[in-house]
Amino acid sequence: MISRSNMNAEEIKLLIEDAIERHHQIEAITKDLYPSKVWTVVIDLCESHVKQVAHRIGDKKEWLEWFMYENDFGARGFEASPGDEHPMRKIETIDDLVWLIEESK
């Protein structure tokens, strides 16, 4: 496993892209199973994977989950700021999300 201190923005972006792609694939193959126990287990595993990726990339403020679930993968264009020293800005792309995570350290 790559330690967070050794990861650059591009590596973080690749892990996020992979987590999002897996999420979309899982949603597509389980949509007909809703609301079954199988669907619940698979979705729980997917959410666990997202949390593991967030931990691996050093996302201590849960921005990845916020981006995916609340900000609808950036489609809602919600604004966020990593702290008081930064103005609010729209988080619409994975690059925006990487910036937010990196600046939130």
* 48 domain residue, yes or no: yes
pLDDT tens digits along 4-17: 557 999 999 999 99
- C-alpha–C-alpha distance, residues 17 and 102, integer Å: 16
3-state secondary structure of 79: strand
Q: What pLDDT was estimated at residue 3?
A: 46
Which parts of 31-103 fold into alpha helices (H)? 37-56, 63-65, 94-103
Global confidence as pTM: 0.91
How many structural domains compose the chain? 1
* 3 domain residue, yes or no: no
* 64 domain residue, yes or no: yes
* 85 domain residue, yes or no: yes
* 2 domain residue, yes or no: no
What is each CA distance from 18 to 37, 49, 50, 89, 93, in whole angstroms?
Answer: 25, 11, 10, 24, 14
- Domain span holding position 54: 8-103
- C-alpha–C-alpha distance, residues 13 and 27, integer Å: 21
6 burial (CB, 10 Å; 0-12 / 13-18 / 19+) is exposed
pLDDT tens digits along 28-87: 999 999 999 999 999 999 999 999 999 999 999 999 999 999 999 999 999 999 999 999
Q: What pLDDT was estimated at residue 5?
A: 54
* 13 domain residue, yes or no: yes
Q: What pLDDT was estimated at residue 2?
A: 47
